[in-house]
Amino acid sequence: MTAQLSKKGEAWSARFSEPVSDLVKRYTASVFFDKRMADADIQGSLAHAEMLSHQGIISADDYAAIQRGMAQIQSEIASGQFEWLLDLEDVHLNIEKRLTELVGDAGKRLHTGRSRNDQVATDIRLYLRSAIDDIAGLLRDLRLALLDLAEQHADTILPGFTHMQVAQPITFGHHMLAYVEMFNRDAERMADCRKRVNRLPLGAAALAGTTFPIDRERVARTLGFDDVCRNSLDAVSDRDFAIEFCAAAALVMTHISRMSEELVIWMSPRVGFIDIADRFCTGSSIMPQKKNPDVPELARGKTGRVNGHLIGLLTLMKGQPLAYNKDNQEDKEPLFDTVDTLTDTLRIFADMARGITVKPDAMRAAALQGYATATDLADYLVKKGLPFRDAHEAVAHAVRACEQRGCDLTDLSLDELRAFSGLIDADVFGVLTLEGSVAARNHIGGTAPAQVRAAIAHVRNLLG
């Protein structure tokens, strides 16, 4: 990837007898997508220049000129006045050319002791580190929104499902906390991934290091890196950190997609558990009654997009020999799109969670279907001394009888219930209520309202 600027400003050196064709320029250039790393590139270059000056490799005057030039370039980029040139291939050469125009030979000296190989590896890490920090904040916002929703509905009962069949009564707050747990793990993964992102490749140069007396640890401290990459070959060719980030992002999106599926089902008039605020929905071009949950539906689709980027990066790296290869230019667009997709999705979902209206009556009515308290009746019999397998069988007979009669367990009289087990007494009706069912599961991780509130307080304490 090493190159120099010709008199025309093109990124091909005197080694070649003819310029790169326009077709190849368009095919190989990355400037129009990697220019988003401009701030990272300038940040890394300034730290490199400061180290060169401190080590006596460039003069203090050259360093001061580089600082002035970079300040102007930052201003031009921020104001939209900076001219990005296809001939210069990428963000690095575009900035270097403009710096040389502004400060002359000092700009040419900036690249001493480094290559575009370690430069781009550093830029990606700086960019991704910042993105991870933003994502951590967005994951926090989403969890806080879900905690608020869970707290509002710590007592609201709905059916819990297995195999999409009514299983046992739970609280809506407990259900929301399941997603909070998923996003807690996502936050942990992002924080752990950041540790491996936050290692400095700069100083590896093209692949073997440099003959100049550089101080890599100084640059690492200046840029806030925890450590330096310890092998120059690996430093320039490693993209594990990008793959790891995409894997963590794919898991976040998987959790978003699972939640989206439930929101779509719950909002269906056939279920009617919730409503989503109008600003997150759209209508139909032909059916005036429609209110479509477009945001969660699209999030399900975008999950496939992020998963595809992960597979793409794994495939990109699987056949590369050491060290740097041009293949690695293909790492940026999937990485950037993963960051953008995840960032936008988390931001909109935190807002959407605050726009969810819960319909407790519909949830309660559904929980009264499907014999949701059958397990509670079995547990009741076990506590009376009946072995669990026998209790399970007795309740199964009771449920079958209710199915034939078209009624619920709570509709049976005491004498009718005692026909299935003589251990049943009048206190059974407290066990068969929805409130009694959820309240009975009063342990850490259980659905009892008291445990839901305790779990909310625990997570709030973790989030600070």
- Would you name the residues annotated as active-site residues? 163, 284
CA distances from 427 to 268, 380, 414 (A): 38, 10, 10
Question: What radius of gyration do the chain's Cα atoms show?
Answer: 31
Determine if the peptide bond prior to 323 is cis (ω within 30°). Answer: yes
Which DSSP letter does residue 21 get?
Answer: P
What CA–CA distance (Å, rounded) separates 31 from 9?
14
Residue 223 near residue 67 (C-beta atoms within 8 A): no
**Residue 274: beta bridge partners?**
358
Q: Residue 118: is it exposed, middle or buried by C-beta count within 10 angstroms (0-12/13-18/19+)?
A: buried
**Residue from 329, 314, 323 nearest 201 by CA:** 323
Of the candidates 247, 265, 250, 268, which has an alpha carbon nearest to the alpha carbon of residue 175? 265
**CA–CA dist 260, 171 (Å, integer):** 19
Separation CA 32–CA 27 (nearest Å)? 12
Please give the single-letter amino acid code of residue 11: A
CB 99 within 8 A of CB 66: yes
Give yes or no for a contact between 349 and 360, defined as CB atoms under 8 angstroms apart.
Answer: no
Lookup: tokens for 262: 């439930």
Give dist(CA 117, CA 219) in Å, integer. Answer: 16
- Say if residue 253 is exposed, middle or buried (CB neighbours under 10 Å; 0-12, 13-18, 19+): buried
212 near 187, Cβ under 8 Å? Answer: no
Q: Quick one: DSSP state of residue 158? A: E
Place of tokens 């270059």: 45
Distance separating alpha carbons of residues 171 and 132, to the nearest angstrom? 33
Could you tell me the two tokens for 430? Answer: 């407290």
Selection from 194, 195, 228 nearest residue 214 by Cα? 228
